[in-house]
Each structure stands twice: as structure tokens, then as C-alpha cells.
Amino acid sequence: MIEYVQPIPSKCDVLIIGGGPAGSSTATLLAKQGVDVVLLEKARFPRNQVGESLIPHFWKFADLTGVSEKIEKQGFVTKAGGITVWDGVIHQISFAQFGYDRPALHVERDAFDELLLDHAAELGASVFQEISVKAINFSSEGGPQAAYYDKRQNSSQVEGEIACQYVVDASGHSSLLANQFKSRQLISSKLKFLSLWGYFKNSRYIGLDAQSHSAESLPHIKPVTFVTSCEDGWLWHIILRDKTSVGLIIHTDRTRGMDKSARERFFLETCSNMPYLKNLLEPASYIEDSLQFRPDYSYYSTNPCGENYYCIGDAAAFVDPIFSHGVQSAFYNAAVAAVAIKASLDEKKYRKRYSQICESRMQQFYGFARAMALGDFGGDGVKPELVKNLMKGMPLLELELMLAASEITNRSGNFRKLAKEAGVLGAFAEGSTHKKAKRLDALEL
């Protein structure tokens, strides 16, 4: 029996490349407004992805797309806050102290991303998986023309093209358009990182009480995201429903020349020798072949938006996600891009202006995350005045949490300097953010 394969249309209003949170959310927001949207995703969902920790801010974007109820029904692990050990100093942050009434989550990204993508399709976006876009032709008279490979038939790979008025690159780390334009730049900082991450069964976890608990305690004792600094980077420990994600962020030189098996040995040896982490992993077993690797960790595009294209999420920029800003950035980029694209469809004569406004908003968020995560703040696509304007306009609840989070590493100097220059520190009682990043004497692991 020959399986029917739905044909990809030859044209649409908006073509979205990539079905992660940035792409699926943009598709949802536009489809809700009656825009003809086609989304092409190169993988078959569910597919593995990193970035399992979500801060409470994400709910406002979930509400915007209408997917909140579906997320709630999934039963993802709710987390109480975060505990960090940075340069030997222990800090604890509790979300309840900030007045959040909706939980932060630890999510399996394969299930989470599939849920978002299915939601986009349910709301009217035309979603096609196993379609790999290879290039965009911007010289076509009818608008951008995307050339793709259709890989849905295992025995063959069919080439095709689709025309659109606007193309949204949400291709993630592969950064299709930034590479095509040769506009992707690695950060100039000395803090050039790569990431290694893998999964473990039966790991213990840390609760807000600063004690370790067995995985069986999850229904009763909420976990925290645990982060600890290491020689030249940091690592995370995020317990999920049936496994635990452990990731290592280190300088690129540490694994130079290693093949896959050597990187795996390095990763496991590092985990087994890391204070605190080794205690949590003592009863755990590593899930074979689960290790993944991402080089060229932090980068940005010098021209993320144009009259007929938008690069969003990781396709536009990526910053060390120490404060769980990756998925948050994807949602934010999707929201501002969807507004700009819909306005451009309605008023085409202003489309350049709308793309410029969108780019400015995305640069604000990128600069904000960059100042928190990397500490340095010179160049690399960051405009300090934009960041300060964002700080002035942020809800105080969100800003207070970010200011408290900036207390827990040795990278916060520039971030707090910008906050002071923006005049936003006066909105909080003196020392309040410092107190909410509570220092602990020890962890009982």
C-alpha cells in the first residue's frame, strides 16, 4: 500500500523554516489572524532538543498563542526555583518570593516542542515535517523563493520550491539565512563556549530545602534547577519526569581534537568528579549514546531582519542560556515578528519600517540576555541604550527576578551597571534583590 503524502503548496503568504518554539509560535500567531502560513521542518517530531528549564515568564506567551491549557495537561515537572554554586558561593532563589502564581517548569523538549507544533497545525498553519530547506532566492520577481528537499519518502528525496511574501528563518542553530548571507558572527569575547549534554536514569535532585531527594519524591517535593560553576564554565542538573538532563558548558579548547567517544569519556569523568553533582549522580546510570555536542556556542547575525525576511530565535542569535532564556527568547522573537509581519501584510509600504522595529526589539532582548550571561558588554551586536529601554519597560515582577538572578554569578557587573543607568533600581527596596538571591551555608547532599 502506498502512503499518501500531502503535497506542499507552491506559494503562501508566510513561509516559516523550522518547527521549534520560535517557528511554531510565529505560525500559530499568524494563523490565528487568518494568514496563509506554511511551516517546513527538517526533522520528524518528536525530536530530541536541549533547553529543558522554563522560567515563569513563558506563560504570558503561552496564553498569547492559546496553548497554556495543553501545557498544563501534560503534567511536566514544576520547579520551585534555582540553587547555584558559583565560585564556591551558594545561592538560592525561590519563585514564590517574587509573587509568581504560575509555576516554572522542567520539560522534555521533544514532547514540549511537538505539543507547540501540533497546536500550530490545529489553528490553521500548514505544517510539513521532514522537509529540508536548502536556500532562499530573494531575486525572484514574485517574492522570496525557497528551494527544499522533501524527505518524506524514504526511498527518494524530491526537490521542490515554494514562493512567499515573507520568509521566517526559525531554523535554530543551523541559522540558514545568516549562513547564506554570511552574516553569522561568533562572539569576540574570550568566553567562547561549547556545550555537552546527556541524560541519566534515577538521579537524585535538589529541592528548595537545599537537600537531595530521590526521584520518587518528585510528586511531593518540587525540585530546583541546579547550576554550579567549574574550571572555565558551568554545568546544569535538571530532573525531568523519567530522566535527568546534565549539561556541561566549557571553553572550546577543552575538547579540541576529540572524537565522539572521547568527548563522552570526558563528559562522564567530569560529572563523576564534580562536587555536589557526583553525589546526585551516585545512584544514577548514564543513558548510553545520549550525549550531544554543540560547538560555536554564542553567536549573532548582523542583519536578522529585512523587508521580506525575519531571522528569529536561535537562527538570529544564541547566548549562553545560564538563566533559561533560550526558549523565552524564542517566544519573544515570535511575538514581535508576528506583529511586524501581519502589519506588513496589511500595509506593505511600511514593511521596511516594521522589520526595523522588530529587529530593534530582538536586539534589546539579545543584549539583555547577553549582559546577564556573559558579563562583557562590548560590541557583538549589543546596543546598551536599547537594553536600558527594555529594562525601563519590563514588568517589575520580571525585572526583579532577573536582577536577583544576576547576583548569583561573577558575570553581573555590566548588567547591574545598565540597570543603574536605566534608573530602574529605585523601583525596588534597597537590597531587596540581593536578599531574594539568598546565600546558603551548605547543601545537604
Give me the pLDDT at residue 114, please: 97
The per-residue pLDDT for range 15-27, each reduced to its tens digit, is: 999 999 999 999 9
Q: Which domains are delineated in the chain?
A: 11-52+109-185+298-354 (3.50.50.60), 77-102+188-294 (3.30.9.100)
b/e burial code for range 191-228 (CB count within 10 A of at least 16 → b): bbbbbbbbbbeebbbbbbebebbebeebeebbbbbbbb
The per-residue pLDDT for range 294-324, each reduced to its tens digit, is: 886 678 899 999 999 999 999 998 887 777 7
Grid coordinates belonging to 187: 562572539
The per-residue pLDDT for range 215-272, each reduced to its tens digit, is: 999 999 999 999 999 887 899 999 999 999 999 998 888 888 899 999 999 999 999 9
Please say if the pLDDT value at position 178 is more than 80.
Answer: yes
Q: In percent, how much of the chain has pLDDT > 70?
A: 96
**319 near 298, Cβ under 8 Å?**
yes
Centre a 10 Å sphere on the Cβ of residue 105 and count the other Cβ atoms it contains: 23
**333 near 316, Cβ under 8 Å?**
yes
Give me the pLDDT at residue 48, please: 87
Give me the pLDDT at residue 2, please: 47
Q: Is 0.85 surpassed by the pTM of this model?
A: yes
128, amino acid identity: F
**331 near 362, Cβ under 8 Å?**
no
Give me the pLDDT at residue 263, please: 94
More confident residue, 352 or 383: 352
Q: How far apart are CA 173 and CA 326, in angstroms?
A: 12
Grid coordinates belonging to 95: 519563585
Contacts for 280 with CB less than 8 Å, ≥ 6 apart: 203, 204, 205, 206, 212, 226, 237, 445
For 185-194, 205-214, 338-347, 431-440, which range has the lowest pLDDT when averaged over its residues? Answer: 185-194
CA angle 419, 422, 423 (to 5 degrees): 90
More confident residue, 410 or 338: 338
Give me the pLDDT at residue 188, please: 67
Q: Tell me the β-bridge partners of 132.
A: 149
Please say if the pLDDT value at position 163 is more than 80.
Answer: yes
**67 near 116, Cβ under 8 Å?**
yes
Give me the pLDDT at residue 4, please: 61
The per-residue pLDDT for range 369-410, each reduced to its tens digit, is: 888 877 666 666 778 888 899 999 999 989 999 999 888 887
**237 near 205, Cβ under 8 Å?**
yes
Q: Beta strand pairing status for 158-169 and 145-150?
A: antiparallel
Distance of alpha carbon 423 from its chain centroid, rounded? Answer: 28
Per-residue pLDDT, averaged over 177-188, amounts to: 89
Per-residue pLDDT, averaged over 198-226, amounts to: 97
Please say if the pLDDT value at position 51 is more than 90.
Answer: no
Distance of alpha carbon 191 from its chain centroid, rounded? Answer: 19
DSSP 140-205: -TTS-EEEEEE--STT--EEEEEEEEEEEE--GGG-HHHHHHT-EEE--SS--EEEEEEEEES--E
pLDDT band at 431 (very low <50, low <70, confident <90, very high): confident
